[in-house]
């Protein structure tokens, strides 16, 4: 009795099947939260994208947070993120974008504090207080 495939072909088929299974089923890597933003500007873009179809008042708060993050208005950005986070009916993607924005802001604030920025220190203390709540 002979094998249905030569050994080299069987190994190749098994390897292809393993690669397919490990890579998943073609899920997009562009979904919010899968690739965390590296800085507040990227986080601001992600925030605007996921809140684009939100109710007008929620979208406006996300726009304010995004603009503050882009301009380096640390305290306003932290407060705006808290306002959005405390809202109701936040989707999973929106929640991830809020979290990613807070993480990006925290990293930026720590860097700015190390450079002696007192505004960053105040915003960081505010962020820590808000995280406790």
72-129: pLDDT as tens digits: 999 999 999 999 999 888 999 999 999 999 999 999 999 999 999 999 999 999 988 8
Separation of alpha carbons 14 and 28, rounded Å: 24
Please report whether residue 32 resides in a domain. no
What pTM does this model have?
Answer: 0.70
So what's the pLDDT on residue 133? 66
Separation of alpha carbons 56 and 96, rounded Å: 20
Name the strand (E) or helix (H) holding 13.
helix 7-23
Q: Give the number of residues written for the chain.
A: 133
Indicate the burial class of 67 (C-beta count within 10 angstroms; 0-12, 13-18, 19 or more): middle
So what's the pLDDT on residue 34? 62
Q: Which domain holds residue 72?
A: 40-132
34-46: pLDDT as tens digits: 678 889 999 999 9
Indicate the burial class of 113 (C-beta count within 10 angstroms; 0-12, 13-18, 19 or more): middle
Please report whether residue 2 resides in a domain. no
How many domains is the chain partitioned into structurally?
A: 1
């Amino acid at each position: 009795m002979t094998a249905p495939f030569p050994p080299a072909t069987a190994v190749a088929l098994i390897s292809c099947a393993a690669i397919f299974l490990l890579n998943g089923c073609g899920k997009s890597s562009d979904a919010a939260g899968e690739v965390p933003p590296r800085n507040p500007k990227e986080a601001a873009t992600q925030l605007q994208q996921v809140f684009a179809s939100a109710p007008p008042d929620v979208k406006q708060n996300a726009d304010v947070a995004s603009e503050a993050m882009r301009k380096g208005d640390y305290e306003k950005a932290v407060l705006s993120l808290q306002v959005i986070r405390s809202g109701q009916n936040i989707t999973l993607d929106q929640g991830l974008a809020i979290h990613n924005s807070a993480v990006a802001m925290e990293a930026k604030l720590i860097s700015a504090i190390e450079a002696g920025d007192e505004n960053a220190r105040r915003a960081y203390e505010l962020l820590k207080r808000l995280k406790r709540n």
